[in-house]
Amino acid sequence: MSRCCTKAWVTGKVQGVWYRGSTQEQALKLGITGYAKNLPDGRVEVLMCGSQEDVKTLSEWLWQGSEKAHVTHVEFEVLEQAHAPDTFSTY
Catalytically active residues are 20, 38
Neighbours of 41 (CB within 10 A): 8
Closest to 2 in 3D by CA, of 77, 52, 60, 48: 52
Evaluate whether 48 touches 9 at the Cβ level (below 8 Å). Answer: no
